Amino acid sequence: MRWVGLYLRSRRVPLAAVVAAGASALVWAAWPYFSDGQTINARVLSVTVLIAAVALGTTLSGADDALDHSASARWPVRRAVHLLLTAAAIVALLLVTTVTEARFEPLGVVVRNTVGLLGLTALGATLLGAALSWIAPLTWTLVAIMPWMGPSEQLRMQLGAWLVQPGDTTVATVCAAVLAVTGLAAYTVRGCPLRPATETAPNQ
């Protein structure tokens, strides 16, 4: 439908999708040269998901903030669908590699890290706007992938480094789920904050 194409272009989705796909492809292609293992490790997976989430996080607002908050359209539904489809797209993009030698897996970790980081991105967009939605996911990812962070039996480590915990770590899964649900709910209900008119006005 024509309105779908207009919506995607107004949100800069094609460009963001190219960036996300390009980053994933670059990591996938380079992995065999840096490791003898087939499975891309949790740290590299987390960084790849981060890049995709941040790129697609820029699509969470359009050029006209007032339009995004108007009552003439069902914006909460559109925002929820937009975020859910974004998560599905990132997961699908990474899981395509499972038919090759270098691969992003296991599925549980791919899904957990994607929904958790995208939830953080959505929270950032709700509080600070889409342009600054990268701050929270980038900060947490940088902390989680530090050399001294890793799989652990300690609760605080499982929370702080949930991105690099094994797929069967309950605390990490719950943490990601809470971030995902909170981000989805906040973005669906509120959307991005209204920017000053000077920031959205066309250049003279």
pLDDT in tens, 100-137: 888 998 999 999 999 999 999 999 999 999 989 999 99
DSSP code of residue 12: T
Torsions phi, psi for 62 (to 5 deg) = -105, -170
Closest C-alpha among 28, 52, 162 to residue 105: 28
What is the sign of the dihedral through the CA atoms of 30, 35, 41 and 43? negative
Other Cβ atoms within 10 Å of 62 Cβ, number: 17
The model's confidence at residue 5, banded by pLDDT at 50, 70 and 90, is confident
User: Hey, what are 71's tokens?
Assistant: 């009552």
Q: What is the pTM of this model?
A: 0.89
**Alpha-carbon distances of 112 from 88, 151, 180, rounded to whole Å:** 12, 15, 9
CB 122 within 8 A of CB 183: yes
> What are the tens digits of pLDDT across the range 6-62?
778 888 899 999 999 999 999 999 998 888 888 999 999 999 999 999 999 999 987
The answer to whether the beta carbons of residues 42 and 104 sit under 8 Å apart is no
Does residue 67 carry a pLDDT above 70?
no
